[in-house]
Amino acid sequence: MVLVFLLLLSSLPAIAVLLWFRLARYPFSPARFAISLLAGATAIFPVLLVYTIEKELVQSLIPFAGIWSIFARALTEELSRLLLLAILFFGFLRFGSAGNPGQPASGAEISSAAMMSASGLVAGLGFAIVESAVYGASIPGNALLRVFTATPLHGACGFRVGSSVAMFSERPGWAIARFLSAVLIHGAYNLMLVLPGRLPAASALCIALSALAGAVQAIRIAMKGDEG
C-alpha cells in the first residue's frame, strides 16, 4: 500500500503537466506524452545496472568516495536519460512528429527543439515515478522527501537533456553546456541530500523547484513560438 501511495503521489506532477498541455492547446499529443513518459521510466534500468556493477565490482577495485561519487551518480542518471531521449528524438524524426511538430493555438510554429524540451520534461517525470517506487522499497523513511524533491528535479533535468539532444546538430557547444547544466544541478541536489540538518534538505528543495520553474517558463515561451 505504501508503494501504491508513492506511485500515485509521484504521478501527480505528470498528470498536471498533461492537463496543462491540453488546456493550453499545446500540440503535444497524448501518444507523444505517453511515449515520453515511458522512455523516462525505462531510463532507470540502465542506471540500476550501473549501480549494481559499481557496488559489486568497481568499489572493491577503485573506491568512489566523497563529492566525486555524488556527481558521478548524477552523470550516470543523466547519461541514461540522454541515451533514451536520443533514441526517442530519432524515432520522432523517423515518423515525422519532431520534424513537423505543429502549431499552438496562437498559430506560431514550434521548433523540434522546443518539442523535445517538453518531451524531456515528461520523460524526467516518468523517471521520477519509477525511482520513487525503488526508493520506497529500499529506503522507506526517505521516500516522501524523494517524492517531493526528486520529482521536480528530474523534470527539470529531463527538460535540459531533451533540449540538448535536439540542438546538438546545429549548436553542439550549447547542447553540451545544456547537458552539463543538468548534471551540475543534479549533483548539487544529491550533495545537499547527504549533508546533515534541515538547511541542506531545504536547499535541495529550492534547487529542484527553481530548476523546474526555469523549465516551465521556457516551455511557456515556446508555446507562443518565441525561441528567445
Using one digit for the tens of pLDDT, what is the confidence trace for 55-108?
555 444 444 455 677 788 888 889 888 988 888 888 877 765 544 455 554 444
Q: Any idea where the domains of the chain sit in the sequence? A: 2-223
Mean pLDDT, 10 residues at a time, the chain of 228 residues: 77 91 87 90 79 55 59 86 88 62 51 84 91 71 70 92 89 92 92 84 90 91 67
Longest dimension (CA), the chain: 58
Cβ atoms within 10 Å, residue 122: 28
Q: Give, to the nearest 10 degrees, the angle between helix 172-194 and helix 198-223.
A: 150
CA angle, 144 then 148 then 154, to 5°: 120
Helix extents (H) in the chain: 2-23, 30-42, 44-53, 59-61, 66-94, 112-138, 143-167, 172-194, 198-223
**Would you give the end-to-end CA distance of the chain in angstroms?**
46
Instruction: Report the predicted TM-score, pTM, of the whole model to 2 decimal places.
Output: 0.83
Residue 173: what pLDDT?
92
Instruction: Give the orientation angle of helix 66-94 with respect to helix 44-53, to 10 degrees.
Output: 150
